[in-house]
Structure 1
Amino acid sequence: MNKQIALVTGASSGIGEAVAKQLTASGYTVYGTSRHGAKGGQRPYAMLSLDVTDDVSVQQAVDAVIQKEGRIDLLVNNAGFGIAPAGAEESSLAQAQSLFDTNFFGAVRMTRAVLPHMRRQRAGRIIQIGSVLGFLPMPYGALYSASKHAIEGYSESLDHEIRQWGIRSIVVEPAYTNTAFGANVVEGDALLGDYHEVRTAVDAHLRAVLASADSPELVAQIVLKAAQARKPKLRYTAGVMAARLRLLRSYAPAALLDAGLRKDLRLA
């Protein structure tokens, strides 16, 4: 494989760090990004300072890679954060907009910044780190789920537009993943007493599930598979649970899926 240049957002920890390490081990020249740049220890890949919510920051980071390497072959849009379990009305509009500005519009900014270079190259691949919550509902996680649903629709639509230049846009869909994602979770900023009991129970359940969830390295392996596939699919599930949930969403009766979801989260 000719030396491929990869840019991975949110690469200081969790899935992004695992992806950057996997790509580096597989022969890519990798540039990871985070809002804090190279802070936090030595890594086998370069780190750039980048805030995906800032147009100027995004363009400067992409320009820096192009200036040094002359091309970008792979973009992995991973940067994002979540809101701790909360009812949909327990976040202000400002908080909802902030979440979308990172999780969805951050990916849009990055994609817009690299596409001119990929079109010039007539080659490239963009991998969006989505979630099973891009095709499933998540009670007490409606805003995060909505942002991942948006990524799904954006990526598939984009893919049809850019194939003519040899570029593909792909979504990788993990289920529960055991990372330090909790460090990037914020509390709902408009909490209501009416939701307290169920919200607290859902939070405890999710923490227990995450403790034994899939590793970020498993997700990284699927990202590598999607990056190197000769004929890539539009979507790749990551892990056994994600694959089962995709099958259930596709084939199970809606009422059965609805009941199973409520039972799993202990909803009345």
Structure 2
Amino acid sequence: MSKNDRKVALVTGASSGIGQATAELLSKSGFNVYGTSRSGTQVGQKSYEMISLDVTSDESVEAAVSEVIRREGRIDLLVNNAGFSVAPAGAEEVSIEQTKSIFNTNFYGIVRMTRAVVPHMRSQGKGRIINIGSVLGFLPAPFMALYSATKHAVEGYSESLDHELRTRGIRVSIVQPAYTKTAFEANLLEPDLKIDEYEKIRKALANRVIEAVEAGDDPSVVAKVVLKAAIATDPKVRYTAGGLACRLRFLRRFAPAFLVDAGVRKDLRLDA
């Protein structure tokens, strides 16, 4: 397939982790891929081009999307992956400013990217948008309440958007991973209103998150699900990624609420 015949994909947060694995797999599978990061720096050998994009800036989003359209004339696939979280902490330890910051990247970033890309997809009469969500979009996350809230918002936005755009040839899907082996925990922001009463549980949960991430799925597991959603003839709205995510989705759907509640507390050792 010549470069001119390849579908064009734009992947945010593609410098490492899930974004990098997704961009690499899409490229190997025949997509012409543009990955993004705030710096846009091409570190190491990559099978796709990196461009600069800050999902918290309207101007940066518009400039990056316009640049891809200028070069390629189209965008067939948008993968919204960029995101971050606050280190485990009580909800009251996270200020309103930090709350705005995490929503600005994890949720409003997706809204900005979607608003910039959808007009081009509508003019094409087709397109795919895949949002990287989380099992924390359908499960509670004690001591990561704000992160969970952003992922719940992504769920509602994505499913609603899919209904809006489906008749215009555009489909929207959410990919829901569980713990994934990335440097995600290295980029966690410390809560800015620490309270002594929460110090012990903060430290315990920080260790639990590190332990769970180290035992988590490789980012390639998530990338394969993104590719599956991207090329599906009739894509689903939701895809779980990895065995744990699949089991958690099943439990959330069919298990009694008290069992899910007990499972969450046991996994995080909240009653230890």
TM-score normalised to structure 2 length: 0.97
Distance between the aligned counterparts of 1:87 and 1:39, measured in 2? Answer: 37
The residue number in structure 2 matching 1:181 is 184
Secondary structure of 2:173's aligned partner? strand
Secondary structure of 1:231's aligned partner? coil
The residue number in structure 2 matching 1:130 is 133
The residue number in structure 2 matching 1:46 is 49
Secondary structure of 1:83's aligned partner? coil
- Aligned-residue offset at 1:200: 1.1
CA RMSD, Structure 1 to Structure 2 (Å): 0.9
1:99 aligns with 2:106: no
- Aligned-residue offset at 1:170: 0.4
Q: Which of the numbers 189, 195, 198 marks the counterpart of 1:192?
A: 195
Secondary structure of 2:175's aligned partner? strand
Contact 1:132 1:242 in 2 (8 A): yes
1:7 aligns with 2:10: yes
Distance between the aligned counterparts of 1:217 and 1:96, measured in 2? Answer: 30
Distance between the aligned counterparts of 2:43 and 2:228, measured in 1? Answer: 28
- Aligned-residue offset at 1:40: 2.5
Secondary structure of 2:51's aligned partner? strand
1:215 aligns with 2:218: yes
Once the two structures are overlaid, the 10-residue window that deviates more, 187-196 or 153-162, is 187-196
Per-residue CA deviations over 1:154-175 (Å, capped at 9, x if unaligned) read 0000000001110001000000
Contact 1:38 1:46 in 2 (8 A): no
Per-residue CA deviations over 1:94-150 (Å, capped at 9, x if unaligned) read 000000000000000000000000000000000000000000000010000000000
Moved over 6 A (4+): none
TM-score normalised to structure 1 length: 0.98
1:111 aligns with 2:114: yes
Distance between the aligned counterparts of 2:187 and 2:174, measured in 1? Answer: 21
**Aligned amino acid, residue 153 of structure 2:** A
Once the two structures are overlaid, the 10-residue window that deviates more, 6-15 or 181-190, is 181-190
The residue number in structure 2 matching 1:152 is 155
1:28 aligns with 2:45: no
Contact 2:89 2:191 in 1 (8 A): yes
- Aligned-residue offset at 1:264: 1.0
**Aligned amino acid, residue 40 of structure 1:** V
Distance between the aligned counterparts of 2:248 and 2:166, measured in 1? Answer: 28
**Aligned amino acid, residue 240 of structure 2:** T
Per-residue CA deviations over 1:4-30 (Å, capped at 9, x if unaligned) read 000000000000000000000001000
- Aligned-residue offset at 1:39: 4.1
- Aligned-residue offset at 1:206: 1.3
1:17 aligns with 2:16: no
- Aligned-residue offset at 1:38: 2.0
The residue number in structure 1 matching 2:124 is 121
**Aligned amino acid, residue 170 of structure 2:** I
The residue number in structure 1 matching 2:249 is 246
Aligned length: 268
The residue number in structure 1 matching 2:62 is 59
Distance between the aligned counterparts of 1:167 and 1:158, measured in 2? Answer: 10
- Aligned-residue offset at 1:199: 1.6
Which structure 2 segments of 5+ residues have no match? none
Identity of aligned residues (%): 62
Secondary structure of 2:9's aligned partner? strand
- Aligned-residue offset at 1:42: 3.1
Distance between the aligned counterparts of 1:211 and 1:183, measured in 2? Answer: 12
- Aligned-residue offset at 1:196: 0.9
- Aligned-residue offset at 1:212: 1.5
**Aligned amino acid, residue 224 of structure 2:** Q
Contact 1:85 1:140 in 2 (8 A): yes
- Aligned-residue offset at 1:3: 1.1
- Aligned-residue offset at 1:209: 1.3
Which structure 1 segments of 5+ residues have no match? none
